[in-house]
Amino acid sequence: MVISRQRIKELYADKHYQSYFDVGLFFVLIFSFHVLYSFWNHNLDYWPIKGIVDKLFVWASALLFDQSTWVLDHVFRMDFFTRDQTIGFLNNEGNYSFVTVAPECTSLKQWMHWLFLMLIFPGPWKHKAWYIPLGLVIIEFTNVVRIVGISLFLRPYPHDFALAHDVIFKIMFYVVIFLMWAVWNDYFHHRKDRHFDRSR
């Protein structure tokens, strides 16, 4: 059964279905960007700006390393040493664990995720002008939390790097992006609708 465009508009106008459409669009955009980014990375090797992208990855990884080691040192007072962009420390088993902040660890992909999502998703541009940069800062902060969190996690659980890196803190990244989008969708995209509902 084919649903007409007019019927889709009517369903979207219904508050009972609106959130389903919005969440659906969020996941479509996130998945679409993931496919486009993977193709650009693996098939085109970041053509035509590979040199710029490579430099950005190097710069962003150095920034992330400096920020993360600062937090480990000044906030958690953790005893560690560094070599190049690797953090080394004694774990609870008396052996050394290592966390390397490589270019692939940067927030660049998540920044581009956020830009792609917010530039396409509906909402007032006067608020996008400050909300998008704020989101980029929050994503970078989240990545610092990720590197610091992995380092702290490996002290008592030195054999569970994959769990920390590939599951816990990777999921955290996308939960933060989803929550920032949810705030945008509720307080900016549908702001007029919310005010209208309160006035009824």
Domain membership of residue 176 (yes or no) is yes
pLDDT in tens, 78-116: 999 999 999 999 999 999 999 999 999 999 999 999 999
Domain membership of residue 40 (yes or no) is yes
Domain membership of residue 104 (yes or no) is yes
CA distance 6 to 51: 47
Domain membership of residue 179 (yes or no) is yes
pLDDT value at position 192?
Answer: 60
Domain membership of residue 20 (yes or no) is yes
Domain membership of residue 164 (yes or no) is yes
**Residue 165 belongs to domain spanning:** 5-192
Domain membership of residue 198 (yes or no) is no
Q: Residue for token digits 């906030």? A: 75
Yes or no: say if 76 and 148 are a contact pair by the CB < 8 Å rule: yes
DSSP H helical ranges for the chain: 5-13, 15-42, 50-74, 108-120, 125-154, 161-162, 169-184, 191-199
Domain membership of residue 200 (yes or no) is no
pLDDT class of 196 with cuts at 50, 70, 90: very low
pTM of the complete model = 0.87
Number of domains in the chain: 1
